[in-house]
Structure 1
């Protein structure tokens, strides 16, 4: 095959290289007699462009959401829970002897009613280990677990941890589809986020958004009694999504969809999968989880917070620092009281590591062990002191 100079120029133009046709043309004009096979010359010219294309990442997969859902969807389950709830007590007027004589046996008697709820979950192991939210199965020991393929199993609630809102269920089956776990600690705000669940009774609903933020504290989310640093996402999460998986673009589970804020539009929150997996393993092995507990109430100081505390006289002491973690109160008979903590202490270090806010202190305590020594450095009246406290298991009964 041989090409004339004109044919060669047209061919290069069709390939998108016509912008330099004048230069290329003159180049090949000088070399025309030396080029026996113009197609080889064309390949030589195109080689740098081909090399550049080969270094580029592959074209974006526009179906990555569908592929992620196809992988994980069969392992996402619907959880139907029921619990017995007492109706209202006998109205006060009916306790009056006059009314009792008048109405006799017609006095209403409190009865039990069944309260039903639906949530989501996902399968961790092929032999039937399922994870969900504690509030989904609250008050229930037995639940019904329905797979995407329509199969239904009786599920036994193995354990619940209300502190992190994680619960685990066991169903008797083999060869079940399972999810793949990712790493929430590697997330970056702006990444894709995919939620799967059963919102409002609509099974196997998929929504998509991005990771909006990381490390949202429990107080920021509106559940201060929890011990979780939440993932924030704008993937739509509605009632019934609770307990379902939050996925990354690879179809790996990075969190458990847990909470929405009533006063927020389009914001949802998920428990990082590392926390959920750790709690689930303890629940499956022990049936319960022991969270280290100090027994202090604390707040992260800012100049505004300092002024507010001093002006409104929340405490019996004056706050002098503008930043740090202020111990506002020490609970009676708590590990902190036994270790010598006092209201007004400013926590600066936990386990010899600097802390800058209350959430960081809580995370350090959570990472400690029940009954083991934990060093906490505080500033008290301008002096630095090191307190050694032995965290105890977080009490299940109501705190004083």
Structure 2
């Protein structure tokens, strides 16, 4: 087996769930382009701006009033993934006047830069990642030079019951401006689901303890609040279901089912991150990255590209390398098949993503791989 040692850099590629993606027709990536099907690690769905209905289902005057109660405490989260030539958008919740923002991990995962627009003032800030829990899909951002922000009204998700009215609020379609909203009710509590983007169904996140609601959610709402009848936030919008997928339809169809993380759960993680209390799941600090785009071994990726991968029974194929990244400087090449990381067998895209989420910037790791010529 060929072995290479890497030193990890800041930020990086990882799989995508539930944020609105905008990728130009000619992405800035190394050839061949990253696969957008078959479980692409760091690949971005080719997405056009979804059409947002003038009035979403169950959007009533009562829902509008509840949405206005939380709007001043929300932000639009906008990310760039420069090595993909892509951008993404989601929503965040202001949890401190000095600019701590609660959002989904998948909203900022893979970002090379993050900017945040305060809904209340329209001021745009640069943001850094304070920490995240990839397994719970929770992240905390810090806005640079922010003060005096209006914080969002937080409720108690422990009091939530099936049948109660709720309103989902967020940056639907990534268009910014006044947050959109959609009313509904709680369908069930403590739900477990496997979440994935429809264009990458092999990339699954296992989420537990979720709130299920029939409030219609669109791409870009991720990280936004689920609000109760008192105008208090009791959940964070995370995933929707349409066309049989848990995730968001890239064509912008309204989700028939939606899922939110209970706010008590999300805030407990945020508090641990703010205090610098890392754990087996909580990562404090910026995201580490390898700088590789991968697809499952045997996949040809988008457009039928053949990466020239060796015929091996396991591992994941390198579809692209980010210029200047640790992986690009290590001697790895497009078409090589990664089989292990630090002695741990890697057989799926998800396994690599989960392992990468636990790594720290500046740390070292050893990758085992097979070259395109079959050398190991």
- TM-score using structure 2 length: 0.51
Quick one: structure 1 residues 154 and 117, their matched pair in 2 at CA, closer, same or farther if it must change by over 3 Å?
same
**Alpha-carbon distance in structure 2 between the residues aligned to 1:82 and 1:141:** 6
Greater relative contact order (Cα < 8 A, sep 6+): 2
Shift of 1:224: 6.4
Residue 205 of structure 1 corresponds to which residue in structure 2? Answer: 180
Structure with the larger strand share: 2
Shift of 1:263: 2.8
Shift of 1:289: 4.0
Contact 1:245/1:257 (CA < 8 Å) preserved in 2?
Answer: yes
Residue 272 of structure 1 corresponds to which residue in structure 2? Answer: 262
- Residues 86-125 of structure 1: matches in 2 within 5 Å? 113-125=84-96
Quick one: structure 1 residues 81 and 289, their matched pair in 2 at CA, closer, same or farther if it must change by over 3 Å?
farther
Residue 214 of structure 1 corresponds to which residue in structure 2? Answer: 189
Quick one: structure 1 residues 124 and 114, their matched pair in 2 at CA, closer, same or farther if it must change by over 3 Å?
same
Contact 1:255/1:272 (CA < 8 Å) preserved in 2?
Answer: yes
Unaligned runs of at least 5 residues, structure 1 = 1-61, 86-112, 293-332, 335-392
1:160 is aligned to 2:150: no
Q: Secondary structure at the match of 2:208?
A: coil
Residue 304 of structure 1 corresponds to which residue in structure 2? Answer: none
Q: Secondary structure at the match of 1:239?
A: coil
- Residues 321-340 of structure 1: matches in 2 within 5 Å? none
Shift of 1:64: 4.4
- TM-score using structure 1 length: 0.48
Shift of 1:122: 1.0
Contact 1:196/1:205 (CA < 8 Å) preserved in 2?
Answer: yes
Shift of 1:199: 1.1
CA-to-aligned-CA distance 1:139-165 (integer Å, 9 cap, x gap): 225311002232111111111211100
1:248 is aligned to 2:228: yes
CA-to-aligned-CA distance 1:41-84 (integer Å, 9 cap, x gap): xxxxxxxxxxxxxxxxxxxxx96433322221011110001123
Unaligned runs of at least 5 residues, structure 2 = 1-59, 245-254, 283-342, 345-354, 360-364, 366-376
Shift of 1:252: 0.7
Q: What is the aligned residue count?
A: 213
- Residues 1-400 of structure 1: matches in 2 within 5 Å? 64-85=62-83, 113-140=84-111, 142-148=113-119, 149-171=121-143, 172-203=145-176, 204-219=179-194, 225-264=205-244, 265-286=255-276, 288-291=278-281, 396=358
